[in-house]
A and B are shown apart, each in its own frame.
With several copies, the nearest count.
Chain A
Amino acid sequence: MVEADLWELYRQMLRSRVFEESVRELWEAGKISGEMHLGMGEEAVVAGVVCQLQDGDALALDHRGTPAMIMRGVDPVLLLREFLGHPDGLCGGMGGHMHLFSKEHLAASSGIVGASGPAGVGFALAAEHLRPGRVAVAFFGEGATNQGMMLEAMNLAAAWKLPVIFVCKDNEWSISTPSADVTASRVEARAQGLGLDAIQVDGNNVEAVWSIAGEALHRARQGNGPSFLHAQCARLEGHFLGDLLIRAGRRPWAELPPIAGPLIRSLARSEGAHLGERLKGISDLLSVIWNARAKDRSSQEDPILITREKLKGDAARLRDLEEEVRREMRGVRRNA
């Protein structure tokens, strides 16, 4: 197995991060429409897997597909143009960030939660027939493990021993719902219960992800079937840009008052649940905001900072690398 090149992994992670910083700016400036789900916080998981893919390997992505696209080698200019809705974007402005398609890279995303499961299986099936030794990777969140087609896909992959790696990026949230509140079992248990080898890995440790993913990829390439990686990571920018939950945590004085009025009326009006239950409702909401705040732009859980820390020994090289990445992305921004 090839050793992880931490410098290269960091470079790819940083490329994604700096690219998404541009995206955030442009979105805030109103240049990008609709929802914008960033992958900030997932870079180590994505890099650890994607950076060891080969020509002919395929990628099935969810609504946070940008980092994987960037690291897979899709031209960032095309991506940014797509987000900006240009006719010469990656998808001619037809898709946007939730519907990214690069045939050349066999990479496709979907805005439907869970759809990357069946897509990964289909890509793997095609690999088995047409490109032996090639694999497919499906990325998705822990919330997607409650979606029927994802569960079906796991069984199908295992029953057919297909070369697909399921990578669950567990940020503990499904939009505003702590996934644990609506999920009756641990993620590994359900993958195993459907016949998959399931391995847990620290999603902020890119070398650990690389090494576990490397084994899974190797098994798949050898025809030894699918695997399931469960990687913990943080959601550093909320569910999407402008997430009210996050805004409420960041600037409570500005964001909470307009919400508070109706809530207080809901607490006070006659007819409804008992007061105790209503107070619990309020406290539930506050704890959701509070908990979401905990990881918001958390530096402890930022894979970029964590990885950077390991490279600080060679400060000069680090500076050069970071300057190079920032230069590349400035160029991207200019050309988009």
Chain B
Amino acid sequence: MRKMSFAEAIEDALCQAMREDSRIVILGEDVHAIRRNLYVRFGEKRVRATPISESAFAGAGVAAAMAGLRPVIDLYMVDFLGVAMDAVLNHAAKVASFSAGHWSAPLVIRAGCGGGYGDGGQHEQSLWGWLAHIPGLTVLVPSTPADAGGLMLAALEHDGPVIYLEHKLLADYWLEFLGSGGRKTVSYDIPPQGARGAVPDKWEAVPIGKAAIRREGEDLTMVSVGASVHRCLEAAKALEPQGVSVEVIDLRTVSPLDTEMILDSLRKTRRLLVVDEDYQGFGLSGELAAVALEAGIVVKYGRVCTEGTIPYAREKEDETLPNVGRIVRKGEEMVREA
């Protein structure tokens, strides 16, 4: 067991995979700088800086994957997928269906996501639930260094398109790049368990579609993903003195959902609190409600999500993103009313 930062874990797993599989190439803006260690190690053909032409290089990634490469499309922020959405919606996600399974597009789209550092609403979205709506996509969102590396490996091995989102509060280089810029005068509410932790000596794939129970409990199931998992754990601790026993499930994979683990937990606690940094409506929080109802499990339900465009001003932003206070209040409310 080694200890690593979230960012190091991704790079280390990617590096291991690139050593073993020469088909893996990284394409994206500024990758010679942002992925400089891989750039030096594997050369400019395998780590290739692009123009600011997301629709061209994401679209090219789809075809390159079909033709035998394993491209990692490095996209800065997931917000910028707006300009390249056609490649995802109408191409990557549909190749396997259109070809009746004869052909596939095994590419990884890797992007930063999430807020908490005051960069405004076009740079801090999460969008994992939005992307999960599109059939044919796998959507991964790690919350620990071990999962960050293991899921990156799984993404690279998967025979289809994968969206891999790394939360900027967990990946220190993003926060440094977009938030601190060398300043010692700013600080962030970084979940320490997410930003640094134990990782295996040799990376193995963390299975896609498998959630993880981060804390066991009896009264209330919190289901979350990404940085918010750590907010849930904090909230769970805060609820403990009040005698509320909280189970925290980290989805890790948003699509496909690990419905089995979720339902097992709900059968026990009969209370579902979804904590989702993505937008509230028509997304992950709704889907989890449907999963419970479809299984015929009667639950009390609540959600703490991002309800609107993310504000720039730090305090407003903190109130908009799911925070520990909001989670605790909602949890109390759900237990009280029971």
Contacts and interface: CB of A to CB of B under 8 A. Distances in A.
Q: Do chains A and B touch in the complex (CB under 8 A)?
A: yes
Interface string A235-247: 0000011111101
A85 B63 contact: no
Given A117-B59, A277-B43, A278-B40, A34 B102 contact: no
Interface residues of B, number: 83
Contacts of B19: 271-272
Interface in A156-213: 156, 159-160, 174-177, 179, 181-183
B60 A119 contact: yes
Interface string B29-51: 11011101111111111101111
Interface stretch (A5-13, A261-269, A299-307, A313-321): A261-269
Interface string A290-313: 000000000000000000000000
Given A156-B50, A177-B30, A99 B60 contact: no
A85 B313 contact: yes
A103 interface: yes
B49 A112 contact: no
Contacts of A266: 36-38, 40-41
A38 interface: no
B41 A245 contact: no
Interface stretch (B112-120, B144-152, B248-256): B112-120
Nearest to B187: A30
Interface stretch (A47-55, A226-234, A279-287): A279-287
A220 to B, nearest CB: 15
Residue from B30, B41, B45, B121 having most chain A Cβ neighbours under 10 A: B41
Contacts of B118: 33-34, 85, 96
Interface in B75-102: 79-80, 82-83, 86-87, 90-91, 94-95, 97-102
Interface string B50-68: 1111111111111111111
A216 interface: no
A93 B313 contact: yes
A123 B64 contact: yes
Residue from B34, B40, B100 having most chain A Cβ neighbours under 10 A: B40
B179 interface: yes
Contact of A35 (B30, B50, B119): B119
A103 B66 CA distance: 8
Nearest to B89: A112
A67 interface: no
Given A118-B60, A129-B25, A160-B48, A288 B32 contact: yes
A55 B60 CA distance: 21
Interface in B291-321: 309, 311-316
A111 interface: yes
Interface string A60-82: 10000000000000000000001
B130 interface: no
A127 interface: yes
B180 interface: yes
Given A118-B56, A263-B36, A103 B120 contact: no
A114 interface: yes
Given A94-B309, A155-B56, 20 more contacts: A30-B185, A33-B117, A33-B119, A34-B178, A35-B179, A93-B313, A95-B120, A96-B120, A110-B91, A112-B122, A119-B60, A126-B69, A153-B59, A176-B32, A242-B181, A247-B182, A263-B37, A278-B41, A280-B44, A285-B33
